[in-house]
Chain A
Amino acid sequence: MSNSDPRHPPLGYGLGLRVEHYEELLGGDPAVDWLEALSENYLVPGGRPLDYLARLRERWPVVLHGVSLSIGSSDPLNRDYLAQLRRLAETVEPAWMSDHLCWTGVDGSNLHDLMPLPYTEEAIDHVAARVREVQDFLGRRILLENVSSYVAFHASQLSESQFLAEIARRADCLILLDVNNIHVSAHNHGFDARGYLDEIPFERVQQFHLAGHEHNGALIVDTHDAAIVDPVWDLYADAVRRFGPVSTMIERDDRIPPLADLIAELDRARAIAEPILRAAA
């Protein structure tokens, strides 16, 4: 899977697909360029979720975003999950598929959370080999997303950005940069968010996530349930300056607001990114 620029063409400005917005999306003509569907919501035998997804897919490009790959787990890869994911991809024909640089459980248990990895050579070898295996199975490059984290480990030998960059290079995969998550983790661990961007290989960044969060005392907790805050918008502008026209998407997981509110945020993303891209052109 090697060529000079492994990225897919950018899709513009998209939204995370949420049940609350199905009807409004289908009934109107919202200024949304593409949709990101949470894979697990559609890994069910049948019924309304799959029906809606098929109808939305007729109108918008869709990408699939998973939370269960558990790419960093020391458990074996879940073949059942991968087989279901591949079947879903055959139906949806997503522009691309992504999951997180994390682990979600061991010994057969699932924490349903994006647990952080130690940034070690051992973890790089482990994750990169598994990404290659997944990519072979799915027949496509996947994107790995940086997660928000609240713990750092004594065992880590690298920074998070070095860890992500090295895995992307060795596994020949793409990157989904969650700008909010960089901000959250930078705050929680005291690293420089701009320096983080500088260490990410330009040619591997396929997608941005934007989201909100909440402060919880000394730590920021990534709740993805609030409006995007100004420091994240500022960091987004820096990311656009560094990485160029990357597909941008707003991800709201809880306290889902009216569609119009998210479209207004998406318009703000456009208003930030487009002048930067025009100036660079």
Chain B
Amino acid sequence: MSALAELQRELQAHVLRDDPAALRAVVATTGADATQRLGIYAHAYRARLLEVLRGDFPGLLALAGEEDFERLALAYVAATPSPHFNVRWYGDRLAAFARERTPWSARAELAEMAELEWKLGLAFDAADEASVDFPTLAALAPTDWPALRLRPHASLQRALFMRNVDTVRRAVDREEAVPALETFTPPQGWAAWRKDSIVRHRRLDEDEAAALDAVAQGATFADLCAHLCRWHAAEDVAARTATLLRRWVEDGWVAAYDFAVG
């Protein structure tokens, strides 16, 4: 290993793990010894990542409280070196971390809020793409509809939550009092998306959540109708499917469409 590589490994080990090897490489002065000097980098590393997480997860901060949030974030920082050059992506495993690690796993709402907030972030800077408008779809020939397949917009994010983390986050955004936690049975479907540069989110009815999942897997309009028979009488299914489709299109959730062959 080159001298440069060795020095960099030692410095990084000091920042990440307080490894003392780098101390001997550093010039100490009477005013500031090597520990104090290197400590600035170690402190700045944790402070910077904590600040990033604080910015990306304000709802989690509100739910956990200042102290517990800091404990969780610092545990995440200690366990998770940053693999991506852009700190924008640092928080991508926080939800999984909170779900899997004690003591945070005992408070399932923390992982759920982290997932919700990460997905809001994904919707915020997902790729730009146009959405299909309703007149375009309405102009399709009736014979085209059964084979119609939809491609969801790049910003559309989906999740299922056991708790009302969405209303908690909304209250945080509006600087209102945080509502009490509720538990859902079965889990509540939820979607976030970006329209006109603004991130929006809402709950999904059970049939809508299932239909969206089917769309993501390449279901045709005919498949969707068949799917929705679980919730609706046969004579109502086409109308319900059309209603859902109209809402999705109006919300900009449909980026493109094609027709299944065969």
Residue A108 is within 8 A (CB to CB) of chain B in the complex = yes
C-alpha spacing A150/B124, complex, angstroms = 37
C-alpha spacing A126/B7, complex, angstroms = 14
Is B4 within 8 A of A123, CB to CB? yes
Residue A1 is within 8 A (CB to CB) of chain B in the complex = no
C-alpha spacing A154/B15, complex, angstroms = 19
Contacts A46-B125, A106-B5, A150-B40 given; indicate if A155 touches B12 (C-beta within 8 A).
no
Is B128 within 8 A of A47, CB to CB? yes
C-alpha spacing A98/B256, complex, angstroms = 39
Residue B9 is within 8 A (CB to CB) of chain A in the complex = yes
Residue A264 is within 8 A (CB to CB) of chain B in the complex = no
Is B82 within 8 A of A109, CB to CB? yes
Residue B262 is within 8 A (CB to CB) of chain A in the complex = no
Is A43 within 8 A of B86, CB to CB? yes
Is B27 within 8 A of A106, CB to CB? no
Chain A residues contacting B36 (CB-CB under 8 Å) are 217-219
C-alpha spacing A108/B11, complex, angstroms = 14
Residue A203 is within 8 A (CB to CB) of chain B in the complex = no
Chain B residues contacting A50 (CB-CB under 8 Å) are 125, 128
Is B49 within 8 A of A112, CB to CB? yes
Is A120 within 8 A of B4, CB to CB? yes
C-alpha spacing A49/B125, complex, angstroms = 8
Residue B186 is within 8 A (CB to CB) of chain A in the complex = no
Is A115 within 8 A of B11, CB to CB? yes
Is A110 within 8 A of B82, CB to CB? yes
C-alpha spacing A263/B192, complex, angstroms = 38
**Residue of A48, A68, A126 contacting most chain B CB atoms (<10 Å):** A48
C-alpha spacing A227/B237, complex, angstroms = 64
Interface 9-residue window, one of A28-36, A73-81, A138-146: A73-81
Is A113 within 8 A of B48, CB to CB? yes
Which residues of chain B from 23 to 60 have any CB-CB distance to chain A below 8 Å in the complex? 24-27, 29, 31-32, 34, 36-38, 40-41, 44-45, 48-49
Is A109 within 8 A of B125, CB to CB? no
B153 to chain A, nearest CB (A): 11
Is B85 within 8 A of A110, CB to CB? yes
C-alpha spacing A51/B198, complex, angstroms = 12
Chain B residues contacting A72 (CB-CB under 8 Å) are 4
Is B29 within 8 A of A190, CB to CB? yes
Chain B residues contacting A221 (CB-CB under 8 Å) are 40
Interface string of B1-21 (1 = CB under 8 A from A): 011110111011001100000
Is A150 within 8 A of B127, CB to CB? no
C-alpha spacing A72/B37, complex, angstroms = 20
C-alpha spacing A81/B81, complex, angstroms = 18
Is B88 within 8 A of A126, CB to CB? no
C-alpha spacing A152/B83, complex, angstroms = 27
Interface string of A234-248 (1 = CB under 8 A from B): 000000000000000
Is A153 within 8 A of B82, CB to CB? no
Interface string of B78-95 (1 = CB under 8 A from A): 000111111110100000
Chain A residues contacting B27 (CB-CB under 8 Å) are 151-154
Is A47 within 8 A of B85, CB to CB? no
Residue B154 is within 8 A (CB to CB) of chain A in the complex = yes
A70 to chain B, nearest CB (A): 8
B126 to chain A, nearest CB (A): 6
B205 to chain A, nearest CB (A): 28
Which residues of chain A from 198 to 237 have any CB-CB distance to chain B below 8 Å in the complex? 216-219, 221
Q: List 19 A-B contacts (CB under 8 A).
A: A40-B86, A45-B126, A46-B128, A47-B125, A47-B197, A48-B124, A49-B125, A51-B128, A51-B197, A109-B12, A110-B85, A112-B87, A117-B4, A151-B34, A151-B41, A153-B7, A153-B27, A154-B26, A219-B40
